[in-house]
Protein backbone atom coordinates (compact mmCIF):
# COMPACT_ATOMS: atom_id res chain seq x y z
CA UNK A 1 0.00 0.00 0.00
CA UNK A 2 1.29 3.47 -0.89
CA UNK A 3 2.52 5.93 1.72
CA UNK A 4 3.36 9.63 1.86
CA UNK A 5 6.74 10.74 3.18
CA UNK A 6 6.29 14.33 4.31
CA UNK A 7 9.13 16.66 5.28
CA UNK A 8 7.37 19.15 7.49
CA UNK A 9 7.90 22.75 8.45
CA UNK A 10 7.42 24.28 4.99
CA UNK A 11 4.76 27.02 4.65
CA UNK A 12 2.41 26.54 1.72
CA UNK A 13 2.24 29.35 -0.85
CA UNK A 14 0.49 29.74 -4.18
CA UNK A 15 -2.77 28.90 -5.93
CA UNK A 16 -4.67 25.62 -5.83
CA UNK A 17 -7.54 24.67 -8.14
CA UNK A 18 -10.41 22.97 -6.35
CA UNK A 19 -11.76 19.89 -8.13
CA UNK A 20 -15.35 18.79 -8.65
CA UNK A 21 -17.10 17.43 -5.57
CA UNK A 22 -16.71 13.70 -4.97
CA UNK A 23 -19.89 13.58 -2.90
CA UNK A 24 -21.82 15.19 -5.75
CA UNK A 25 -20.45 13.27 -8.71
CA UNK A 26 -21.26 9.76 -7.48
CA UNK A 27 -25.06 10.33 -7.31
CA UNK A 28 -24.85 12.31 -10.57
CA UNK A 29 -23.26 9.32 -12.31
CA UNK A 30 -25.88 7.02 -10.79
CA UNK A 31 -28.63 9.30 -12.09
CA UNK A 32 -27.61 8.52 -15.67
CA UNK A 33 -29.26 5.11 -15.12
CA UNK A 34 -32.65 6.83 -15.24
CA UNK A 35 -32.54 7.39 -19.01
CA UNK A 36 -31.46 5.63 -22.20
CA UNK A 37 -30.21 8.96 -23.56
CA UNK A 38 -26.58 10.09 -23.37
CA UNK A 39 -25.59 12.13 -20.31
CA UNK A 40 -22.48 14.29 -20.15
CA UNK A 41 -20.98 15.24 -16.77
CA UNK A 42 -18.13 17.74 -16.63
CA UNK A 43 -15.62 18.71 -13.92
CA UNK A 44 -15.42 15.10 -12.82
CA UNK A 45 -12.51 14.51 -10.40
CA UNK A 46 -10.09 11.67 -11.13
CA UNK A 47 -10.63 9.62 -7.97
CA UNK A 48 -10.66 5.91 -7.27
CA UNK A 49 -14.29 6.15 -6.05
CA UNK A 50 -15.29 7.84 -9.30
CA UNK A 51 -13.52 5.19 -11.38
CA UNK A 52 -15.23 2.48 -9.30
CA UNK A 53 -18.58 4.07 -10.06
CA UNK A 54 -17.73 4.06 -13.76
CA UNK A 55 -16.94 0.35 -13.54
CA UNK A 56 -20.19 -0.29 -11.67
CA UNK A 57 -22.15 1.47 -14.42
CA UNK A 58 -20.34 -0.62 -17.04
CA UNK A 59 -21.20 -3.80 -15.11
CA UNK A 60 -24.85 -2.73 -15.35
CA UNK A 61 -24.61 -2.50 -19.13
CA UNK A 62 -23.81 1.20 -19.58
CA UNK A 63 -21.40 2.69 -22.10
CA UNK A 64 -18.97 4.88 -20.18
CA UNK A 65 -16.47 7.11 -21.98
CA UNK A 66 -13.85 9.27 -20.27
CA UNK A 67 -12.29 12.40 -21.75
CA UNK A 68 -10.21 14.31 -19.22
CA UNK A 69 -12.57 15.64 -16.57
CA UNK A 70 -15.62 14.77 -18.66
CA UNK A 71 -17.56 11.50 -18.59
CA UNK A 72 -20.24 10.42 -21.06
CA UNK A 73 -22.69 7.72 -20.02
CA UNK A 74 -25.37 5.99 -22.07
CA UNK A 75 -27.54 3.48 -20.23
CA UNK A 76 -29.42 2.11 -23.24
CA UNK A 77 -29.73 -1.41 -21.83
CA UNK A 78 -29.66 -2.21 -18.14
CA UNK A 79 -29.04 -5.19 -15.92
CA UNK A 80 -30.72 -4.79 -12.51
CA UNK A 81 -27.92 -6.48 -10.50
CA UNK A 82 -24.76 -4.63 -9.50
CA UNK A 83 -21.30 -6.24 -9.33
CA UNK A 84 -20.64 -7.33 -5.73
CA UNK A 85 -16.85 -7.04 -5.92
CA UNK A 86 -17.15 -3.40 -6.98
CA UNK A 87 -20.05 -2.29 -4.80
CA UNK A 88 -18.66 -3.73 -1.57
CA UNK A 89 -15.63 -1.41 -1.85
CA UNK A 90 -17.57 1.84 -1.74
CA UNK A 91 -20.57 2.89 0.31
CA UNK A 92 -21.54 5.57 -2.21
CA UNK A 93 -22.38 2.83 -4.71
CA UNK A 94 -25.70 2.26 -2.91
CA UNK A 95 -27.02 5.30 -4.79
CA UNK A 96 -27.50 3.15 -7.91
CA UNK A 97 -30.45 1.50 -6.19
CA UNK A 98 -32.87 4.42 -6.51
CA UNK A 99 -32.42 4.99 -10.25
CA UNK A 100 -32.50 1.24 -11.01
CA UNK A 101 -35.74 0.89 -9.06
CA UNK A 102 -37.19 3.96 -10.72
CA UNK A 103 -36.44 2.87 -14.27
CA UNK A 104 -36.69 -0.95 -14.16
CA UNK A 105 -38.85 -1.39 -11.03
CA UNK A 106 -36.29 -3.77 -9.58
CA UNK A 107 -32.79 -3.57 -8.17
CA UNK A 108 -30.34 -5.86 -6.40
CA UNK A 109 -27.40 -4.22 -4.64
CA UNK A 110 -24.82 -5.70 -2.28
CA UNK A 111 -24.71 -4.15 1.16
CA UNK A 112 -21.99 -1.52 0.64
CA UNK A 113 -18.66 -0.91 2.34
CA UNK A 114 -16.40 2.16 2.59
CA UNK A 115 -14.64 3.98 5.42
CA UNK A 116 -14.95 2.53 8.92
CA UNK A 117 -16.28 5.62 10.72
CA UNK A 118 -19.27 4.23 12.55
CA UNK A 119 -22.58 2.68 11.65
CA UNK A 120 -24.03 4.08 8.43
CA UNK A 121 -27.07 1.92 7.78
CA UNK A 122 -29.24 2.27 4.70
CA UNK A 123 -32.50 1.72 6.57
CA UNK A 124 -33.78 5.18 5.63
CA UNK A 125 -33.13 4.47 1.94
CA UNK A 126 -35.18 1.28 2.21
CA UNK A 127 -37.90 3.03 4.22
CA UNK A 128 -38.26 5.51 1.36
CA UNK A 129 -38.40 2.81 -1.31
CA UNK A 130 -41.04 0.88 0.66
CA UNK A 131 -43.12 4.04 1.01
CA UNK A 132 -43.06 4.37 -2.80
CA UNK A 133 -44.39 0.82 -3.12
CA UNK A 134 -41.31 -1.40 -3.34
CA UNK A 135 -40.98 -4.74 -1.56
CA UNK A 136 -37.59 -5.07 0.16
CA UNK A 137 -35.80 -8.32 1.02
CA UNK A 138 -32.25 -8.97 2.22
CA UNK A 139 -30.71 -12.27 1.16
CA UNK A 140 -27.09 -13.37 1.30
CA UNK A 141 -25.80 -9.85 1.86
CA UNK A 142 -27.83 -8.46 -1.05
CA UNK A 143 -30.65 -5.94 -0.80
CA UNK A 144 -33.41 -6.63 -3.30
CA UNK A 145 -36.13 -4.15 -4.19
CA UNK A 146 -39.05 -5.01 -6.48
CA UNK A 147 -42.11 -2.95 -7.34
CA UNK A 148 -44.99 -3.50 -9.75
CA UNK A 149 -45.43 0.24 -9.67
CA UNK A 150 -44.05 3.23 -7.77
CA UNK A 151 -46.59 5.70 -6.40
CA UNK A 152 -45.79 9.11 -4.95
CA UNK A 153 -46.41 9.68 -1.26
CA UNK A 154 -45.16 11.65 1.74
CA UNK A 155 -41.94 10.28 3.20
CA UNK A 156 -40.14 11.31 6.42
CA UNK A 157 -36.39 10.69 6.13
CA UNK A 158 -35.11 12.07 9.43
CA UNK A 159 -32.66 9.83 11.28
CA UNK A 160 -30.89 9.64 14.61
CA UNK A 161 -28.05 11.87 13.36
CA UNK A 162 -30.26 14.05 11.18
CA UNK A 163 -31.23 13.78 7.51
CA UNK A 164 -29.54 11.27 5.23
CA UNK A 165 -27.77 12.75 2.21
CA UNK A 166 -27.48 9.59 0.12
CA UNK A 167 -30.90 8.46 1.27
CA UNK A 168 -32.42 11.75 0.11
CA UNK A 169 -30.64 11.39 -3.24
CA UNK A 170 -31.69 7.76 -3.64
CA UNK A 171 -35.37 8.31 -2.88
CA UNK A 172 -35.45 11.50 -4.97
CA UNK A 173 -34.08 9.62 -8.00
CA UNK A 174 -36.57 6.77 -7.64
CA UNK A 175 -39.46 9.21 -7.25
CA UNK A 176 -38.71 11.05 -10.51
CA UNK A 177 -40.33 8.15 -12.43
CA UNK A 178 -43.07 7.33 -9.89
CA UNK A 179 -46.75 8.05 -10.47
CA UNK A 180 -47.99 11.19 -8.77
CA UNK A 181 -46.31 13.50 -6.27
CA UNK A 182 -43.69 12.54 -3.68
CA UNK A 183 -42.88 14.84 -0.77
CA UNK A 184 -39.68 14.14 1.19
CA UNK A 185 -39.77 15.69 4.67
CA UNK A 186 -36.59 16.10 6.73
CA UNK A 187 -34.63 15.96 3.47
CA UNK A 188 -30.90 16.64 3.49
CA UNK A 189 -30.10 20.25 2.54
CA UNK A 190 -26.51 19.74 1.33
CA UNK A 191 -25.28 21.48 -1.84
CA UNK A 192 -24.71 18.03 -3.34
CA UNK A 193 -28.47 17.35 -3.12
CA UNK A 194 -29.19 20.64 -4.89
CA UNK A 195 -26.66 19.75 -7.59
CA UNK A 196 -28.35 16.40 -8.18
CA UNK A 197 -31.78 18.01 -8.37
CA UNK A 198 -30.50 20.47 -10.99
CA UNK A 199 -29.18 17.61 -13.10
CA UNK A 200 -32.40 15.63 -12.77
CA UNK A 201 -34.45 18.67 -13.75
CA UNK A 202 -32.21 19.15 -16.79
CA UNK A 203 -33.09 15.52 -17.66
CA UNK A 204 -36.80 16.38 -17.54
CA UNK A 205 -37.63 15.70 -13.88
CA UNK A 206 -39.94 18.01 -11.92
CA UNK A 207 -38.28 18.68 -8.56
CA UNK A 208 -38.70 21.69 -6.31
CA UNK A 209 -37.48 22.56 -2.83
CA UNK A 210 -33.99 21.01 -3.07
CA UNK A 211 -31.78 22.67 -0.47
CA UNK A 212 -34.68 22.91 2.00
CA UNK A 213 -36.01 20.26 4.43
CA UNK A 214 -38.97 19.59 2.12
CA UNK A 215 -38.45 18.38 -1.44
CA UNK A 216 -41.37 17.83 -3.81
CA UNK A 217 -41.04 15.50 -6.81
CA UNK A 218 -43.77 15.27 -9.43
CA UNK A 219 -43.25 12.03 -11.31
CA UNK A 220 -42.82 11.99 -15.09
CA UNK A 221 -43.09 9.17 -17.62
CA UNK A 222 -39.48 9.29 -18.78
CA UNK A 223 -36.27 11.27 -18.61
CA UNK A 224 -33.83 12.23 -21.35
CA UNK A 225 -30.10 12.85 -21.61
CA UNK A 226 -28.56 16.10 -20.35
CA UNK A 227 -25.27 17.86 -19.65
CA UNK A 228 -24.11 19.08 -16.26
CA UNK A 229 -21.05 20.55 -14.52
CA UNK A 230 -20.26 19.29 -11.01
CA UNK A 231 -20.06 21.82 -8.16
CA UNK A 232 -16.63 22.40 -6.56
CA UNK A 233 -15.67 20.17 -3.64
CA UNK A 234 -16.31 22.12 -0.44
CA UNK A 235 -14.45 19.59 1.70
CA UNK A 236 -11.34 19.72 -0.48
CA UNK A 237 -11.50 23.53 -0.27
CA UNK A 238 -11.80 23.35 3.52
CA UNK A 239 -8.85 20.94 3.69
CA UNK A 240 -6.49 23.21 1.73
CA UNK A 241 -7.65 26.27 3.67
CA UNK A 242 -6.83 24.51 6.95
CA UNK A 243 -3.48 23.30 5.56
CA UNK A 244 -2.55 26.89 4.65
CA UNK A 245 -3.30 28.04 8.20
CA UNK A 246 -1.54 25.07 9.80
CA UNK A 247 1.71 25.72 7.90
CA UNK A 248 1.62 29.51 8.37
CA UNK A 249 1.35 29.87 4.62
CA UNK A 250 -0.73 31.83 2.13
CA UNK A 251 -2.84 29.92 -0.36
CA UNK A 252 -5.47 31.10 -2.84
CA UNK A 253 -8.33 28.65 -3.40
CA UNK A 254 -9.54 28.88 -6.98
CA UNK A 255 -12.86 27.70 -8.35
CA UNK A 256 -14.66 27.47 -5.01
CA UNK A 257 -18.16 28.29 -3.76
CA UNK A 258 -17.80 30.23 -0.50
CA UNK A 259 -21.58 30.02 -0.01
CA UNK A 260 -21.09 26.28 0.56
CA UNK A 261 -18.45 26.91 3.25
CA UNK A 262 -20.04 29.37 5.68
CA UNK A 263 -19.67 27.18 8.79
CA UNK A 264 -16.03 26.26 8.07
CA UNK A 265 -15.02 29.81 7.17
CA UNK A 266 -16.75 31.15 10.28
CA UNK A 267 -14.71 28.82 12.52
CA UNK A 268 -11.49 29.64 10.68
CA UNK A 269 -12.08 33.36 11.22
CA UNK A 270 -12.85 32.67 14.89
CA UNK A 271 -9.53 30.79 15.09
CA UNK A 272 -7.68 33.86 13.82
CA UNK A 273 -7.20 32.74 10.21
CA UNK A 274 -7.23 35.58 7.67
CA UNK A 275 -9.63 35.14 4.75
CA UNK A 276 -9.71 37.57 1.81
CA UNK A 277 -11.91 37.41 -1.27
CA UNK A 278 -9.97 37.92 -4.50
CA UNK A 279 -12.67 38.10 -7.14
CA UNK A 280 -14.26 34.63 -7.22
CA UNK A 281 -11.33 33.12 -5.29
CA UNK A 282 -10.39 33.04 -1.60
CA UNK A 283 -6.95 33.82 -0.15
CA UNK A 284 -6.20 32.05 3.13
CA UNK A 285 -3.36 32.98 5.49
CA UNK A 286 -2.64 32.69 9.17
CA UNK A 287 -3.33 35.75 11.29
CA UNK A 288 -0.98 36.98 13.96
CA UNK A 289 -2.01 34.32 16.45
CA UNK A 290 -4.19 31.23 16.26
CA UNK A 291 -6.95 30.96 18.85
CA UNK A 292 -8.71 27.81 20.11
CA UNK A 293 -12.31 27.21 19.02
CA UNK A 294 -15.06 24.80 20.00
CA UNK A 295 -16.76 22.86 17.19
CA UNK A 296 -19.81 20.62 17.00
CA UNK A 297 -20.45 18.75 13.76
CA UNK A 298 -23.98 19.05 12.41
CA UNK A 299 -25.94 18.39 9.24
CA UNK A 300 -25.61 21.13 6.61
CA UNK A 301 -25.47 24.12 7.01
CA UNK A 302 -23.67 23.31 10.26
CA UNK A 303 -19.99 22.41 10.56
CA UNK A 304 -19.41 19.35 8.35
CA UNK A 305 -18.26 16.08 9.88
CA UNK A 306 -16.00 15.67 6.84
CA UNK A 307 -13.88 18.65 8.01
CA UNK A 308 -13.75 17.71 11.69
CA UNK A 309 -10.48 15.76 11.60
CA UNK A 310 -8.67 18.46 9.59
CA UNK A 311 -9.80 21.15 12.01
CA UNK A 312 -8.62 19.03 14.92
CA UNK A 313 -5.14 18.94 13.38
CA UNK A 314 -5.15 22.74 13.27
CA UNK A 315 -6.29 22.96 16.90
CA UNK A 316 -3.39 20.72 17.92
CA UNK A 317 -1.13 23.57 16.79
CA UNK A 318 -3.18 26.25 18.54
CA UNK A 319 -2.31 27.28 22.12
CA UNK A 320 -5.20 26.67 24.49
CA UNK A 321 -8.01 24.16 24.85
CA UNK A 322 -10.48 23.32 22.08
CA UNK A 323 -13.46 21.01 22.37
CA UNK A 324 -14.56 19.18 19.24
CA UNK A 325 -17.86 17.31 19.46
CA UNK A 326 -18.86 14.75 16.83
CA UNK A 327 -22.63 14.37 16.41
CA UNK A 328 -22.82 12.61 13.03
CA UNK A 329 -20.58 9.50 13.22
CA UNK A 330 -19.81 7.90 16.58
CA UNK A 331 -16.46 6.38 15.52
CA UNK A 332 -14.95 9.39 13.81
CA UNK A 333 -12.12 9.99 16.27
CA UNK A 334 -9.85 7.23 14.98
CA UNK A 335 -7.29 9.85 13.95
CA UNK A 336 -6.80 10.93 17.58
CA UNK A 337 -4.38 8.15 18.50
CA UNK A 338 -2.35 8.82 15.34
CA UNK A 339 -2.17 12.57 16.00
CA UNK A 340 -0.93 11.64 19.49
CA UNK A 341 1.98 9.80 17.86
CA UNK A 342 3.03 13.16 16.41
CA UNK A 343 2.92 14.76 19.86
CA UNK A 344 -0.65 16.02 20.07
CA UNK A 345 -2.39 16.01 23.46
CA UNK A 346 -6.01 14.94 23.01
CA UNK A 347 -8.42 13.18 25.35
CA UNK A 348 -11.79 11.68 24.49
CA UNK A 349 -14.84 12.17 26.68
CA UNK A 350 -17.95 10.64 25.13
CA UNK A 351 -18.70 12.34 21.81
CA UNK A 352 -16.13 15.09 22.45
CA UNK A 353 -12.39 15.41 21.97
CA UNK A 354 -10.57 17.84 24.25
CA UNK A 355 -7.53 19.22 22.46
CA UNK A 356 -4.76 20.84 24.51
CA UNK A 357 -3.02 22.63 21.70
CA UNK A 358 0.24 24.48 21.23
CA UNK A 359 2.72 21.66 21.72
CA UNK A 360 5.14 21.29 18.80
CA UNK A 361 4.50 18.27 16.61
CA UNK A 362 7.29 16.01 15.43
CA UNK A 363 7.31 13.56 12.55
CA UNK A 364 6.55 9.87 13.06
CA UNK A 365 4.97 6.95 11.17
CA UNK A 366 1.17 7.10 11.32
CA UNK A 367 -1.65 4.98 9.92
CA UNK A 368 -4.65 6.43 8.11
CA UNK A 369 -8.00 4.89 9.06
CA UNK A 370 -10.36 6.72 6.71
CA UNK A 371 -10.48 9.44 4.07
CA UNK A 372 -10.72 12.56 6.23
CA UNK A 373 -8.46 11.16 8.96
CA UNK A 374 -5.83 10.76 6.24
CA UNK A 375 -6.17 14.43 5.32
CA UNK A 376 -5.77 15.43 8.98
CA UNK A 377 -2.58 13.41 9.29
CA UNK A 378 -1.18 15.01 6.13
CA UNK A 379 -1.93 18.49 7.53
CA UNK A 380 -0.27 17.59 10.83
CA UNK A 381 2.73 16.16 8.97
CA UNK A 382 3.08 19.34 6.92
CA UNK A 383 3.28 21.36 10.15
CA UNK A 384 5.44 18.90 12.14
CA UNK A 385 9.21 18.99 12.50
CA UNK A 386 11.04 16.20 10.71
CA UNK A 387 9.57 13.50 8.51
CA UNK A 388 6.10 12.01 8.83
CA UNK A 389 5.14 8.79 7.05
CA UNK A 390 1.41 8.50 6.40
CA UNK A 391 0.56 4.91 5.55
CA UNK A 392 -2.50 3.64 3.62
CA UNK A 393 -2.97 6.77 1.54
CA UNK A 394 -5.30 4.84 -0.77
CA UNK A 395 -7.96 6.45 1.43
CA UNK A 396 -6.84 9.86 0.12
CA UNK A 397 -7.03 8.70 -3.47
CA UNK A 398 -10.74 8.02 -2.90
CA UNK A 399 -11.54 11.67 -2.20
CA UNK A 400 -8.67 14.01 -3.13
CA UNK A 401 -7.51 14.45 -6.71
CA UNK A 402 -3.69 14.30 -6.95
CA UNK A 403 -3.28 15.59 -3.40
CA UNK A 404 0.48 15.24 -3.20
CA UNK A 405 0.93 16.97 -6.57
CA UNK A 406 -1.29 19.88 -5.56
CA UNK A 407 0.50 20.27 -2.23
CA UNK A 408 3.95 20.00 -3.79
CA UNK A 409 2.97 22.74 -6.24
CA UNK A 410 2.36 24.89 -3.13
CA UNK A 411 5.87 24.16 -1.83
CA UNK A 412 5.26 21.05 0.26
CA UNK A 413 7.80 18.24 0.24
CA UNK A 414 5.83 15.03 -0.19
CA UNK A 415 7.04 11.83 -1.78
CA UNK A 416 4.68 8.97 -2.60
CA UNK A 417 6.29 5.60 -1.93
CA UNK A 418 4.92 2.38 -3.35
CA UNK A 419 4.04 -0.39 -0.95
CA UNK A 420 3.31 -4.06 -1.44
Which residue of the set 39, 62, 115, 316 is catalytic?
Answer: 115
> Could you give the CA distance from residue 29 to residue 324 in angstroms, rounded to a whole number?
34
DSSP helix/strand/coil, 40: strand
Cβ atoms of residues 264 and 309 within 8 Å: no
Cβ atoms of residues 163 and 89 within 8 Å: no
| Greatest alpha-carbon span in the chain | 64
Non-local (6+) Cβ contacts of 212 within 8 A are 187, 189
**DSSP-H helix ranges across 133-261:** 165-175, 191-202, 234-246
**Cis link prior to 182 (omega < 30° from 0)?**
no
> Could you give the CA distance from residue 118 to residue 101 in angstroms, rounded to a whole number?
27
DSSP helix/strand/coil, 238: helix
Specify whether 70 is catalytic.
no
| First-last CA distance in the chain | 5
Could you tell me how many helices (H) and strands (E) the chain has, helices first?
14, 25
- The catalytic residues are 115
Amino acid sequence: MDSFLIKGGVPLHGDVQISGAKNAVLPLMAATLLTSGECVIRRVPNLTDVRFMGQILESLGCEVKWDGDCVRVRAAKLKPVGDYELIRKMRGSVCIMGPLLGRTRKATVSLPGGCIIGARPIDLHLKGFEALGAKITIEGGDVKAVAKNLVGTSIFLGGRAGPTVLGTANVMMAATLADGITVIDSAACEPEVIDLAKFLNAMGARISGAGSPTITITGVKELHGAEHEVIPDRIEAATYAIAAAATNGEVTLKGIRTDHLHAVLDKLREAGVKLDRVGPDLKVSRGRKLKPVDITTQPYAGFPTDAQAQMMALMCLTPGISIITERIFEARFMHVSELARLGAEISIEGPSAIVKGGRPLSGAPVMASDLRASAALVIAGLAAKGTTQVNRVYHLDRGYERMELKLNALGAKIERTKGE
